[in-house]
Amino acid sequence: MIEQTVPRREGYAPVPGGQVHYQVVGDGPGIPLLTLHGGPGAGHDYLEPLAAQGQDRPVIFFDQLGCGRSEQPGDPTLWRIERFTREVDALREALGLRRVHLLGQSWGGWLAIEYMLGNPDGVVSLTLASTSASLRQFVEEAALLIDVMPEPHRSVLQRATSAADYQTPEYAEAVLVFYQRHLCRLDPWPDALVRSVKNLDGNVVYATMNGPNEFTVTGNLAAWDRTADLGAIRVPTLITVGMYDEITPACAATLHRGIPDSRLAMLYASAHTAHLEEPERYNRVLREFLTQVESGAWSDE
């Protein structure tokens, strides 16, 4: 749970399609940090280590519509990236977030990219954590990770993908091995991550937009690709990635090449959840970036 010693307030805000639950952690003088969680449908829980930034600035966590403590309407037309970008605007308006630092992790990074390409006012920096510029590159890179998995897990995953059969016990076991290698390398997994994984179990948003698991994308995000548009992002950008990340360093390099004012930070002991696996280093890198942006000392070198 988020440390209770840090000032916190929470509530619900109206967004297109329903109400979302939010928490504001910290009351430092810096520009607020607005976080966009992964999934889609994971909820914010696993991002809780970022509450350490609350010493310097308010940190806003929220469960996107359709998961966690937010409303979970049954209208499948809501589960599209365009509506989620409007959700970000609605939350900012409800909370009076005129100027923000924006951080998106995994799917939250795809959402952040899409949001930034709409040229929103008041976003002073962008952090893209363990994400990519396209689903195509992510899926291709994940296939390469599967290619070097130990047997029998490699063959089980490849056969299941070919046959679109994701229901066998052998498949579930192989997926878990992949996750232990490329989602989170901690053993056991932190409680915050376990709570987010539970949010994804049977989640209709995840099934509609992503697919059956992290590396098999069959939903409406499958064709999403903003690689050619990255040059339009004109705010200072920090790109973070784990050495063993399921959204690989090659994906991070594509972001770094495409975004003009960007810096790439590798977390060498981490997979997809570096903020959980190396929380002290991750928060130090993020804090330095946010502070440099606000002080005018930022450089992409």
- Retrieve residue 7's tokens: 């000032």
Q: Helix, strand, coil proportions of the chain in percent (round to 5)?
A: 45, 20, 40
d(CA 3, CA 22): 16
Distance of CA 286 to CAs 6, 32, 39, 95, 127, Å? 19, 13, 22, 23, 8
44, 182, 272, 275: the catalytic one is 272
| 37 annotated active-site | no
- Retrieve residue 58's tokens: 């308010």
Helix axes 135-147, 153-163, angle to 10 degrees: 140
Per DSSP, helices labelled H in the chain are: 81-95, 107-116, 135-147, 153-163, 169-182, 191-200, 204-209, 249-258, 274-277, 279-295
DSSP state of 83: H
125, 182, 245, 256: the catalytic one is 245
106, 132, 262, 270: the catalytic one is 106
| 256 annotated active-site | no
Query: What is the DSSP secondary-structure string of 221-240?
Result: TTT-B-GGGGGG--S-EEEE
Strands 33-36 and 18-25, bridge-based pairing? unpaired
Residues 6+ away with beta carbon under 8 Å from 162:
none
| 44 annotated active-site | no
DSSP state of 54: G
Q: Classify the C-alpha dihedral 262-37-61-227 as positive or negative.
A: positive
Active site residues: 106, 245, 272
